[in-house]
Structure 1
Amino acid sequence: MTNPVVHITNLNLHYAGQPVLRDLDWRIYPGENWVIGGKSGSGKSSLAKAIVKQEKVSGDIHLRFTAGLTLPPVAYYVANWYQFTNLEGDRNFYYQQRYNKHQQHDTLTVYADLIHFGQKHQLDFHDAEPILEALGFDNCRETQLIELSSGEHKKVQLVQALWLKPQILILDEPYTGLDRQSRRQLNVILDRLAAEGVSLILITNDNDIPASINRFAEIADGKINVVADIAAMAQDQERRPKPFPYFLQKAPTADSDTIAELRDVSVRYGEKTVLKNVSWRVRKGEKWLLQGPNGSGKSTLLSLLNGDHPQAYANEIWLFGRKRGSGESIWDIKEKIGIISPELHWYFDKHATVWHAIASGFYDSIGWFLNVKYEEKKKIEQLLDFFDLLEDKDKLLHTLPLGKQRLALLARTIVKNPPLLILDEPCQGLDRSQTTHFNAVVDELSAYGKTLIYVGHYESQLPSCLDRRLVLEKGEVILNERHTFLTT
């Protein structure tokens, strides 16, 4: 009888006094490649970390590696977020730091980071080059880690894992932030690794998965539940419709018919051009989709609008009827903008409760603040009720399931009813039900006179309200059109 590659028996894990995994048994046999999906917060990541001994559990986990393979006899886990450090080994970064030229060189370049990884695992860099090229990442070698977008950070993680070729490879949300072409190429490489003998475990609710995936499971009530396919996996319950808080049913005040305008804008870092001669006008009430491959300049463009990028003053940029640099402060700009992004989520204060996270939207901060007014407290309570977060309001934001974290950050984004909403890939890592719920809220919210810029790669995962599209490629506008999107 064939021995299992992974043999787990009686696995138990408690978190904050609550059971997450309970007497879990699971066997993975040679030739099996798994997708683990299901409800947010069910324990998928905890199980993955337990397999590679990054989570303290009770029970038995036995890994059986095959002798004679050229593949390293290790189980390697790729986390949802890339936890890089600065040159001193510190992870204490702040949100705007990636745009601060005085601190950009505080982290390694992509090339230096990969060289360090290769030396640690005795790998030849020539074997990494085809992976860099396949993922469209070979032109980022000299880019500082802190300058990368969330999708580019994911590519750093993937290049390392695919280069290593471990006998057991566990990828937690491997498609987070990746553009369509990069997802396709990733699946091609994963199929190739599976053919070479790598056992794959993917934690994802994505339908576009490698052809080599032949087993599916979810975690339900702390145990592994084998299912036929991704469609059979449990989803979070559909949310009961509620009336929108009254203060959000009013059109926000805007002093100009033009919310934002960029005129022939360019951004450069030394010899590297990130944006080139970009012109774009966003009028009051418009609903824009912003698209483009990883590294096309989307994040930089949004940072110019949000007041975070210092090169905004070197370009002709108009916000809410005023030219940047004409006397307004950065807080005057942020007061009129609500934003959610993977970077803001990643840098968010780990000590913030759900209540404090939402309240921080009034002050455009991601840290602590004082003197929340009575009227503001009432709005926070209304949003907590609307998003079904009342029971979670005193919990630390980062301890909640990802879906609830994103809803809390959406509440933070809209709590001051700003004229402009910038939602940068807000549904990363959410399952189909959560994505549908999130975008339904965005559609309803947009009906009350909001101006929207929404970043998303897949038309099937977008709000239906979007009717205009701007597409970037290599820092240039290649498409600016009015369009009707199919969201089925």
Structure 2
Amino acid sequence: MIPRQVRKDKENKMTEPVAHIDNLTIQYPNNVVLNSLSWPIQKGKNYVIGGTSGSGKTTLAKAIAGLIPSNNAVQLNFDNNLPLPAKVVYISNWYQFTNLEGDRNFYYQQRYNHHQGHDTLTVKAELEHYAQKEKLDFSAIEERIAAFGFEDVQSSQLIELSSGEHKKLQLIRGLWAKPQLLIIDEPYTGLDKNSRIVLNKWLDDLVAEGVQLILITNDNHLPHSINSFAHIVNGKLEKVTSQSEFARDEKRQRKELPAFLREFPQTQYDTIAEMNNIHIRYGKKVVLKDVSWKVNVGEKWLLQGPNGSGKSTLLSLINGDHPQAYGHDLSLFGNKRGSGESIWDIKQKIGIISPEMHWYFDQNATVWHTIASGFYDSIGWFIDVKFHEKKQIEELLEFFDLTDVKHQNLNTLPLGKQRLAMLARTIIKNPPLLVLDEPCQGLDNDQAKYFNDVVDELAEYGKTLIYVGHYESQIPSCLEHRIVLEKGEVKAIENILDTVS
């Protein structure tokens, strides 16, 4: 017979919160993010935290995980009877990796220079290192790696991975650890449709083993094990019954585009890009295989394909960043690649935004300087702008409602505003070609609609557009054509209007 006091202690252990947050206050200069927030996280409650951009969701997650000081406002109560590690694992929105010397000083084009990629670990080495550190069995994760479609990248360098592949690596590491409390910030960022399904199944399996979840997302496609919802309003956590009750960002008030963006770009050519039988490989790894594609002036293209299908490499050929562009049958803006034009001649005609560019961007740049750097295609800002350029910057700040934050560093803004600042940078010189590579990654549906409404407006004035997006619900309505890649090959080129009708 179990003594009464022992039974009582076990009952108390069963009923006490997994985490108890009491009067948590976190503030930054001139900004109180969390204001005396209290939240008992009961055992068995698997939460989704949603709501408005910048409300403090990520700050709360980091405080629970012990990544930022909480002044003893967070108490964790792990269950010693569970076979799972008594710890919190926090998976951030973006994956931060280092080179072999522990440095993060990478540059944007470096991922395409294969000989420089060896400055980082391979995926397999990274996972093996993690397994050794956490005392994990590599064979226990191999089936999950295969389900994620991640087995073919084991020999790739970390710097060569696309944003979606980096997200998979983050998730594999974090879920492999099976902590008692698992917090994932934007779990679906950059994942293709099948990978999102695989992730949700894995999360449900972990819950069945005793893992407790907190997901930070406004996505509607959730694991079945999610049973609780909350958002943060005025620095305090409020529980709600469903995602439909989450606080939303204000609806965008449509404004007229600045006059300089209503001017049709001047082009003396009919074709933006034309490539024939392009073949790109790194050693034995084939990235693009016999790809042929033609983009005419004024066309609006959707580029799709699973994670790792070659989309980023294809775009790098067009924007001038890939060193293997030479020696192939590739023409850009009416000129054969390698016929004497410089990379800056090409970039002057292109405005580009991508998750990778956002990663490598100078996060200490102010919003104003971020937009200004678009005139010179720099990752940061180093040159004084002219008077008329300053006027255009101010017009875009007003158009995107960023005037009040123009002197703030880019990395201090909510993700939605950061993406708008990056879009402003992309269009500041009114280029004939816009390349928008997963521009809504990490944004909720309302923020994505705001962003894509602006893209639709820009498209009315003669811009050529190449848009990459996994979510059918988060793409602009102006798109006319689609090209689909799979394992480096073109699987389909079609008219979107025909497929819809």
Shorter-chain TM range is over 0.9
Kindly provide the CA deviation profile for residues 153-210 of structure 1, in whole angstroms up to 9, marking residues without a partner as x: 0011100011111110000011110000000000000001011110000001111110
Partner of 1:461: 474
Instruction: Work out whether residues 467 and 483 of structure 1, in 8 Å CA contact, stay in contact via their aligned partners in 2.
Output: yes
What is the RMSD computed on CA atoms of the aligned residues? Answer: 1.1
Q: Determine the C-alpha separation between the residues in 2 that align with 1:202 and 1:482.
A: 37
SS state at 2:73 partner: strand
Partner of 1:19: 32
Do structure 1's residue 162 and structure 2's residue 196 form an aligned pair? no
Instruction: Work out whether residues 460 and 486 of structure 1, in 8 Å CA contact, stay in contact via their aligned partners in 2.
Output: no
Counterpart selection for 1:287 from 281, 285, 300: 300
Q: Determine the C-alpha separation between the residues in 1 that align with 2:446 and 2:213.
A: 25
Do structure 1's residue 121 and structure 2's residue 121 form an aligned pair? no
Partner of 2:115: 102
Q: Determine the C-alpha separation between the residues in 2 that align with 1:302 and 1:204.
A: 28
The CA deviation at 1:367 is 2.2
**Runs (5+) with no aligned partner, structure 2:** 1-11
Instruction: Work out whether residues 466 and 485 of structure 1, in 8 Å CA contact, stay in contact via their aligned partners in 2.
Output: no
Q: What is the one-letter code of the residue matched to 1:431?
A: D
The CA deviation at 1:241 is 1.3
Counterpart selection for 1:5 from 14, 18, 24: 18
Counterpart selection for 1:329 from 342, 345, 350: 342
Partner of 1:68: 81
Q: Which has the larger radius of gyration?
A: 2
Do structure 1's residue 450 and structure 2's residue 463 form an aligned pair? yes
Instruction: Work out whether residues 272 and 333 of structure 2, in 8 Å CA contact, stay in contact via their aligned partners in 1.
Output: yes
Q: Determine the C-alpha separation between the residues in 1 that align with 2:62 and 2:155.
A: 31
- Runs of 4+ in structure 1 off by over 6 angstroms are none
**Runs (5+) with no aligned partner, structure 1:** none
Structure 1 residues 52-61 or 131-140, which shifts more? 52-61
Number of aligned positions between the proteins: 487
TM-score (norm 2): 0.96
SS state at 2:484 partner: strand
Q: Determine the C-alpha separation between the residues in 2 that align with 1:58 and 1:125.
A: 37
Q: What is the one-letter code of the residue matched to 1:300?
A: T
Counterpart selection for 1:421 from 430, 434, 457: 434
Do structure 1's residue 225 and structure 2's residue 235 form an aligned pair? no
Q: Determine the C-alpha separation between the residues in 2 that align with 1:86 and 1:351.
A: 21
Partner of 2:58: 45
Instruction: Work out whether residues 9 and 61 of structure 1, in 8 Å CA contact, stay in contact via their aligned partners in 2.
Output: yes
Partner of 2:96: 83
The CA deviation at 1:17 is 3.0
Partner of 2:373: 360
Instruction: Work out whether residues 372 and 381 of structure 2, in 8 Å CA contact, stay in contact via their aligned partners in 1.
Output: no
The CA deviation at 1:402 is 0.4
Q: Determine the C-alpha separation between the residues in 1 that align with 2:197 and 2:327.
A: 38
Change (3 A) 1:75 1:486: farther
Partner of 1:317: 330
Do structure 1's residue 437 and structure 2's residue 454 form an aligned pair? no
Kindly provide the CA deviation profile for residues 108-135 of structure 1, in whole angstroms up to 9, marking residues without a partner as x: 0000000011111000000111111111
The CA deviation at 1:280 is 0.3
Partner of 2:6: none
Q: Determine the C-alpha separation between the residues in 1 that align with 2:389 and 2:78.
A: 57
Instruction: Work out whether residues 340 and 424 of structure 1, in 8 Å CA contact, stay in contact via their aligned partners in 2.
Output: yes
Q: What is the one-letter code of the residue matched to 1:448?
A: Y
Partner of 1:175: 188
Q: What is the one-letter code of the residue matched to 2:433?
A: L
Instruction: Work out whether residues 302 and 482 of structure 2, in 8 Å CA contact, stay in contact via their aligned partners in 1.
Output: yes
Partner of 1:299: 312
Do structure 1's residue 255 and structure 2's residue 268 form an aligned pair? yes
Q: Determine the C-alpha separation between the residues in 2 that align with 1:58 and 1:445.
A: 48
TM-score (norm 1): 0.98
Partner of 1:384: 397
Q: What is the one-letter code of the residue matched to 2:294?
A: R
Partner of 1:246: 259
The CA deviation at 1:419 is 0.4
Instruction: Work out whether residues 45 and 227 of structure 2, in 8 Å CA contact, stay in contact via their aligned partners in 1.
Output: yes
Identity %: 64
